[in-house]
């Protein structure tokens, strides 16, 4: 059983995805891996690797976020005075303190009569962020909430890690959330299990294990990947089994709560770990693969919590400005966290991809 939430008269009014201009092909990085070219190409086909978008070493979350905010303001897609809250969901904070959301607010010259909030969430971050935004909109003083899902985890993944580096991507997604005049009900469910937290982690660099020359030393693991304790490490088998066993019953439970059948959902916009995992998940849930887009990693890379709104921008584009859809959002991974929302995606005011 999941923790359940219900919201009324709330909507997403627009999504802006900010991607780095720098695009790198899988073949350009194969020499980094302790793997033959033939085996690397098999890996590419099995996992759906093709290319990914990654920032340069000097670009951080606030750079992507402020670029996106300025685009929204300059194109009159949102007004400064309407932004009552800024929620940043990231696992790429620029400092231990202050909060990166405050840095973004200052760099974007937003008003002081607003709430800034950092949420430390990864793969489930879009769903968790939406839930927080919907909760804030219960307050009459809150006009619109700017939800930003942003990560630049390429800074923390070893370039010689063939398990993680080919799939990692960087992005910022800005989702504007507001009240709706349409009497729609939104249903959400959430689960977390910290007993599995070590399945995806960066072991060193925090207060428990501060960074030292020793933690920065790159070593080879038993599978031929090279990384340091300051790099992201993912136990792929554990994560795959977690997703395949925990997510399908959660979706079944959520649809039952919402009074929907699997066929009544137009799109399942799920977190995008890789194409292989999503195709298996679609089969397990019993939905057509075309209803669960899996093309984000092969085109842009896995940018953690930003993959869900990126999938909306990439797969619906301008069509979302003239059509409404019944959708299921689901995020799962780091934490361990698995969560989902069923809601109407009403006609959007904007749904774009821009490049930083």
Residue 221: inside a domain, yes or no? no
Residue 198, CB-side half-sphere exposure with 13 Å CA sphere: 4
206 domain-assigned? no
Q: Report yes or no on 207 lying in a domain.
A: no
**Dist. CA 102–CA 183, nearest whole Å:** 34
Nearest to 116, CA basis, from 62, 58, 180, 64: 62
Residue 353 to residues 19, 125, 227, Cα–Cα distance (Å): 7, 19, 32
- The tens digit of pLDDT for each residue in 313-328 reads 999 999 999 999 999 9
**Helices assigned H by DSSP within the chain:** 37-47, 61-74, 100-107, 125-136, 236-258, 275-285, 296-299, 307-316
Residues of the chain scoring pLDDT < 70: none
Tokens of 97: 């303190």
The verdict on residue 240 lying in a domain is yes
Q: Indicate the pTM of the whole model.
A: 0.97
DSSP track, 302-316 = B-GGGHHHHHHHHHH
Structural domains in the chain (count): 1
Give the pLDDT score at 44.
82
The verdict on residue 71 lying in a domain is yes
Res 52: pLDDT: 96
- Looking at every residue in the chain, the average pLDDT score rounds to 96
Q: What is the pLDDT of residue 41?
A: 86
Query: What backbone phi and psi angles, to 5 degrees, belong to 82?
Result: -90, -15
Residue 30 domain-assigned (yes or no): yes
Residue 226 lies in a domain: no
Q: What is the pLDDT of residues 93-115, one digit of tens each?
A: 999 999 999 999 999 999 999 99
Q: Is residue 166 included in any domain, yes or no?
A: yes
Q: For position 96, which CATH number holds?
A: 3.40.47.10
pLDDT digits (tens, 9 = 90+) for 208-218: 999 999 999 99
- Residue span of the structural domain in which 131 resides: 1-201+232-356
């Amino acid at each position: 059983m999941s923790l359940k939430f219900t919201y009324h008269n709330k909507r997403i009014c627009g999504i802006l995805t900010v991607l780095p201009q720098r695009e790198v092909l899988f073949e350009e990085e194969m020499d980094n891996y302790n793997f033959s070219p033939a085996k690397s190409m098999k890996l590419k086909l099995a996992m759906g690797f093709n290319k990914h978008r990654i920032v340069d070493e000097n670009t951080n979350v606030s750079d992507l976020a402020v670029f996106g905010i300025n685009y929204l303001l300059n194109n009159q897609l949102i007004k400064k005075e309407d932004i009552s809250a800024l929620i940043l969901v990231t696992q790429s904070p620029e400092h231990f303190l202050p909060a990166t959301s405050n840095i973004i607010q200052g760099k974007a010259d937003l008003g002081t009569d607003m709430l800034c909030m950092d949420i430390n969430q990864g793969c489930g971050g879009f769903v968790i962020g939406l839930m927080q935004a919907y909760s804030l909109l219960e307050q009459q003083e809150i006009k619109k909430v700017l939800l930003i899902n942003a990560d630049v985890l390429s800074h923390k993944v070893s370039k010689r890690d063939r398990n993680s580096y080919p799939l990692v991507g960087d992005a910022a997604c800005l989702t504007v959330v507001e009240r709706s005049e349409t009497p729609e009900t939104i249903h959400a469910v959430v689960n977390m299990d910290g007993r599995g937290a070590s399945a995806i982690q960066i072991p060193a660099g925090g207060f428990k294990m501060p960074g030292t020359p020793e933690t920065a030393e790159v070593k080879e693991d038993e599978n031929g990947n090279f990384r340091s304790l300051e790099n992201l490490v993912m136990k792929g088998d554990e994560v795959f089994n977690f997703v395949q066993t925990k997510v399908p019953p959660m979706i079944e439970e959520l649809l039952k709560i919402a009074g929907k059948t699997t066929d009544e959902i137009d799109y399942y916009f799920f977190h995008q770990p890789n194409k292989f995992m999503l195709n298996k998940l679609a089969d397990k849930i019993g939905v057509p693969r075309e209803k669960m887009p899996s093309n984000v990693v092969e085109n842009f890379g896995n940018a953690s919590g930003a993959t869900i709104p990126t999938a909306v921008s990439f797969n619906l584009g301008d069509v979302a400005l003239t059509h409404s859809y019944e959708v299921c959002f689901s995020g799962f991974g780091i934490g361990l966290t698995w969560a989902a929302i069923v809601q109407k995606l009403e006609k959007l005011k904007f749904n774009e991809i821009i490049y930083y």
